[in-house]
Amino acid sequence: MADQIAYTEDNIRSLDWKEHIRLRPGMYIGKLGDGSSPDDGIYILIKEVIDNSIDEYVMGAGKTIEVLVKEDTVTIRDYGRGIPLGKVVDVVSKMNTGGKYDSLAFKKSVGLNGVGTKAVNALSSYFKVQSFRDGKTVFAEFEKGNITLVEKPEETTHRKGTKVTFVPDKSIFTKFKYRNEYIEKMIKNYVYLNTGLTIIFNGEKYFSENGLKDLLEENISEDSMLFPVIHLKGNDIETAITYSKAQYSEEYHTFVNGQHTTQGGTHQNAFREAIVKTIREFFGKNYEASDIRKSIVSAISIKVMEPVFESQTKTKLGSTEMGDGLPTVRTYITDFVKTNLDNYLHKNPITAERIQKKILQAEKERNDLSGIRKLARERAKTAGLHNKKLRDCRVHLNDLKKENRLESTLFITEGDSASGSITKSRNVNTQAVFSLRGKPLNSYGMSKKIVYENEEFNLLQAALNIEESIEELRYNNIVIATDADVDGMHIRLLLITFFLQFFPELIKEGHLYILDTPLFRVRDKKQTFYCYSAEEKQNAIDSLRGKPEITRFKGLGEISPDEFANFIGDDIRLDPVMLDKEMSIDKLLEFYMGKNTPDRQKFIIENLKFELDIVEENF
């Protein structure tokens, strides 16, 4: 028998609070990421600090929050009551210390675990907290959770409140970059959920008078709405509902105690059921649930006593009880929607008529598609069994927990050589590959029928598991991986058109990306540089002695699997596909894929010139 490893008291070790957070950051802030995804850890750090300021506002202290993000430094200042001066150090460095354990004071707080700012402190190379209170101020500075400086109370004329400054630790968050678009969306959600609150982000003010009604009107243009937003408010609950003329699937924005629950939960399930039940009873018809909910765009916010979430990042509600003597979450939401939505429809017969017409249209389309959908599903099942299009990852092959989808990625490639390189170099645990055959069809202006008739679209839809809604999306990150040439750009545009036309919420919720791959390899006998631009190429040439070997990658298939591992591993560069907030989806599709116009010609010429310049420099 082999010698057993000794297991004694010396093997038992206790980590202090900051060591544990730094060793297992995913337990506290989810995935780390590089800032290309809205749920990356660097944004969770900001959220954790703002959440405390929001709780102050909810308690009636401080109507303004200032957020400044400059490169890698974040500063957040509120005008609440200020941390008690004798506890400034403790609340950011001692676990199970905070003001939210008194449920009377923070009855329906965003977070009750007392971990938030401690995690930010531990994961920052520099962290400073300062409290202004009772005409005095105290501040403390930390490095990776270790206190480096604490000042005694001093007199001050500054307004009361709390100020936090931090810099994420680059040894944990490598090569990260804050994207203002994601921070702006986070801040907008805060003001939608806290009418009367002003948040100033990098000098720009954000404020909402109409709550979730404003949220929906921000996400869907007036021209695309079937009817004006139905806005309903009650004690501890607010909802907003409309339907899209162009969108096919369901879209929900859900919140609990001000927390954006991007993965839904018990409240979202109850809301979906309540809408179906109310509309069936109103019209006296047993309509299919999918027909009622098709094209719906809606939002719900509830407040729950001491909510239970299914993860530290609080993206999915697990609570079934409202607390405070109220009924269950399901009963509470159902009763509210049934009473208030039913009343609204009785008072607004034109809206009711439009809803019924939309349901009947969805019913007709479903019946018309029933035959082709059955055949399409069989084709997708057969293709999946023979593994012709999709090379899945172990997260799904092994049917692991749904939470593991946060780490999963699907690369959409064109051509056998490119898909082969990625397949051989990918992380088989979390990265899957879907191989296109040639250029996708231009789906602009087409009906959902084309998704089932076109083999590529049908199989892609099946791979993503988004036929009915994106709630069961199998991959958190969908990455378009095409060559950096004119044909590659065209394929990108055609795929983006497909998603915008039929599944726009994939883009709205930050799931779609473009893989950024190097254009050049510059090397000598000792060093190799992969360059993503002509400027990087020149810098690499200048840093090497002698005449280097320069290779221009004309296609992904030219990059060997060994090299490709560098570009889809820890150093992966992803460009998120984001919607222009000034332009509706209909207008976006019309601009890029509609009839040719002088404006589009100008856009193409200006944006294509950069690519041509890079190619010409290589000759």
Query: Based on the domain organization, do 143 and 168 belong to the same domain?
Result: yes
Establish if 548 belongs to a structural domain.
Answer: no
Beta bridge partners of 66: 77, 200
- Looking only at the bridges linking them, the beta strands covering 431-436 and 528-531 are unpaired
Task: Give the whole-angstrom CA distance, residue 197 versus residue 168.
Answer: 27
* CATH of residue 92: 3.30.565.10
Q: For 185-213, how does the pLDDT look when each residue is reduced to its tens digit (9 = 90+)? A: 999 999 999 999 999 999 999 999 999 99
Query: Based on the domain organization, do 463 and 330 belong to the same domain?
Result: no
**Domain boundary, last residue among 148, 176, 206:** 206
Supply the pLDDT for residue 101. Answer: 44
Q: For 9-28, what is the mean pLDDT?
A: 71
pLDDT at residue 105 greater than cutoff 70: no
Q: For 166-183, how does the pLDDT look when each residue is reduced to its tens digit (9 = 90+)? A: 999 999 998 899 999 999
Q: For 37-66, how does the pLDDT look when each residue is reduced to its tens digit (9 = 90+)? A: 888 899 999 999 999 899 889 888 889 999
Query: Based on the domain organization, do 156 and 198 belong to the same domain?
Result: yes
Query: Based on the domain organization, do 227 and 197 belong to the same domain?
Result: no
* CATH of residue 268: 3.30.230.10
Query: Based on the domain organization, do 191 and 271 belong to the same domain?
Result: no
Band of pLDDT at residue 285, cut at 50, 70 and 90: very high
- Mean pLDDT highest for which of 83-97, 210-224, 308-322? 210-224
82 within 8 A of 132, measured Cβ to Cβ: yes
Supply the pLDDT for residue 94. Answer: 79
Per the structure block, which two tokens stand in for 175?
Answer: 């090569």
pLDDT at residue 342 greater than cutoff 50: yes
- Mean pLDDT highest for which of 335-344, 370-379, 425-434? 335-344
Establish if 542 belongs to a structural domain.
Answer: no
DSSP string, 242-278: EEBSS--S-EEEEEETTEE-TT-BHHHHHHHHHHHHH
Task: Give the whole-angstrom CA distance, residue 350 versus residue 582.
Answer: 29
Q: Quick one: what percent of the chain has pLDDT higher than 90? A: 38
pLDDT at residue 351 greater than cutoff 60: yes
pLDDT at residue 618 greater than cutoff 70: no
Length of the chain: 619
**Domain boundary, last residue among 143, 172, 206:** 206
Query: Based on the domain organization, do 477 and 592 belong to the same domain?
Result: yes
Query: Based on the domain organization, do 144 and 279 belong to the same domain?
Result: no
123 within 8 A of 116, measured Cβ to Cβ: no
- Looking only at the bridges linking them, the beta strands covering 64-70 and 198-201 are parallel
Beta bridge partners of 239: 232, 300
141 within 8 A of 149, measured Cβ to Cβ: yes
Establish if 441 belongs to a structural domain.
Answer: yes
Kind and range of the H or E run holding 298: strand 296-302
User: What residues make up the domain containing 461?
Assistant: 387-517+553-617
Establish if 371 belongs to a structural domain.
Answer: no
Query: Based on the domain organization, do 155 and 220 belong to the same domain?
Result: no
Task: Give the whole-angstrom CA distance, residue 297 versus residue 285.
Answer: 22
Q: For 452-496, how does the pLDDT look when each residue is reduced to its tens digit (9 = 90+)? A: 888 888 889 888 988 877 777 889 899 999 887 778 888 888 899
Query: Based on the domain organization, do 191 and 227 belong to the same domain?
Result: no
More confident residue, 47 or 95: 47
pTM of the full structure: 0.80
Query: Based on the domain organization, do 443 and 578 belong to the same domain?
Result: yes
Q: For 530-564, how does the pLDDT look when each residue is reduced to its tens digit (9 = 90+)? A: 888 888 899 999 888 788 899 888 778 778 888 88
Beta-carbon contacts of 613 under 8 Å, excluding residues fewer than 6 positions away, are: 534
Beta bridge partners of 252: 298
Band of pLDDT at residue 586, cut at 50, 70 and 90: low
Query: Based on the domain organization, do 196 and 228 belong to the same domain?
Result: no
Query: Based on the domain organization, do 480 and 597 belong to the same domain?
Result: yes
- Total domain count, the chain: 3
Establish if 109 belongs to a structural domain.
Answer: yes
63 within 8 A of 143, measured Cβ to Cβ: no
**Domain boundary, last residue among 333, 365, 397:** 365
448 within 8 A of 381, measured Cβ to Cβ: no
Task: Give the whole-angstrom CA distance, residue 155 versus residue 580.
Answer: 47
Supply the pLDDT for residue 209. Answer: 94
CA 189-194-196 angle, 5° bins: 120
192 within 8 A of 173, measured Cβ to Cβ: no
Establish if 394 belongs to a structural domain.
Answer: yes
502 within 8 A of 585, measured Cβ to Cβ: no
Supply the pLDDT for residue 3. Answer: 53
Establish if 334 belongs to a structural domain.
Answer: yes
Supply the pLDDT for residue 103. Answer: 47
The values of phi and psi at residue 459, to 5°, are -70, -35
Establish if 560 belongs to a structural domain.
Answer: yes
